[in-house]
Amino acid sequence: MSIQTKILAPPPQSPFSKLARFPWGTYAPLIALLVLVIFSAIASEHFLIPRNLTNVLRQVSYTGIIALGMTFVIIAGGIDLSVGSMVALVGVLCVMLLNWFGDGWYAVAMAIAAAVAIGALLGALNGLIITRGKVASFIATLATMSILRSLTLYVSDAGEVVSENQLFPEIGGGYLLAIPIPVWVFGVLAIISHILLKHTAFGRHVCAVGCNATVASYSAIKVRWVYFMTFVIAGAMVGISSVMLSSRLNSVSPGDAGLFYELDAIAAVVIGGTALAGGRGTIFGTVIGVIILGIINNMLNLLGVSPYLQGTVKGLVILVAVLAQFKGDR
């Protein structure tokens, strides 16, 4: 008696099943950027003008540099609300030191080095308060945000600090191959940050700490040190951004400099797909998020939307990004 085996062919797969398996969450920021660019090009004939595009990239580079550092902090499970006030304080001190050093490129180089060092030190202060003082990052940086802004107003006597160096404006206002120098700086820092996050042990440790700090400590990862270093990186990025911004304006206004930069940086990181709960995120996504915010602001201006409503649009974009994250996690 023979037994016949019937081989069943797999059921045909519909194209919708392939679409369902596509990693939409990974490429969602890029898809949103492409859709936004197409819409902007249709909505305004001035959008694709090279001068407008370079202006958009220049404007987003300041907050974009800060967002790179914020990415490390948020992936590690923290948050830094003090970066806006830090921009103002570091910018004021940078210009003061520049005037003290005098004229010439030597003075510019010394002032830039001092700004990065001061930013890193202020970030280290945040890190010490959080890791050694065991204060939640939200509370600690909320306090330092107020402290740094107050110190900025005190140091500058609440007056605008103007640079006397004739070469300093060439840093933030100059061009290299028809592209603004701040854009080049942002791009180079993005590449370095990507390598640090995705191709080094430190980057893997940052993700592990943000995912589960207890398990990371059992894996012989120095949790407090890694967490501390993310705030140092964020502070150094703030120092670089303050140099670009103050050199672009050749002055610093202590009351307005860096205002709401922390919100723009956090928004860019979240829109780029980094989880607010920590544990995962990409530098590529942050760069896309920064550009998306820049294009939205630019289009609102080109379309004549009231500046009082632009914050509403930005807030809605953040809400949509966060809701999409929560839906994807479920």
CB 241 within 8 Å of CB 115? no
**What confidence tens digit (pLDDT) does each residue in 44-64 have?**
888 889 899 999 999 999 999
**3-state SS assignment for residue 45:** coil
**What confidence tens digit (pLDDT) does each residue in 150-173 have?**
999 999 998 899 988 888 999 988
Domain map of the chain by residue range?
57-259
- Packing angle between helix 223-249 and helix 105-131, nearest 10 degrees? 140
Residue 17 has pLDDT above 60, yes or no: no
User: Which residues, in sequence order, are CB contacts of 194 under 8 Å at separation 6+?
Assistant: 282, 283, 284
**What confidence tens digit (pLDDT) does each residue in 98-110 have?**
999 888 889 999 9
Mean pLDDT of the chain: 88
Mean local confidence (pLDDT), 194-211: 95
Q: What is the DSSP string of 237-302?
A: HHHHHHHHHHHHHTEE-TTTTTTTHHHHHHHHHHHTT--TTSS---HHHHHHHHHHHHHHHHHHHH
Q: What is the DSSP string of 158-222?
A: TS-EE---SSTHHHHH-EETTEEHHHHHHHHHHHHHHHHHHSSHHHHHHHHHHH-HHHHHHTT--
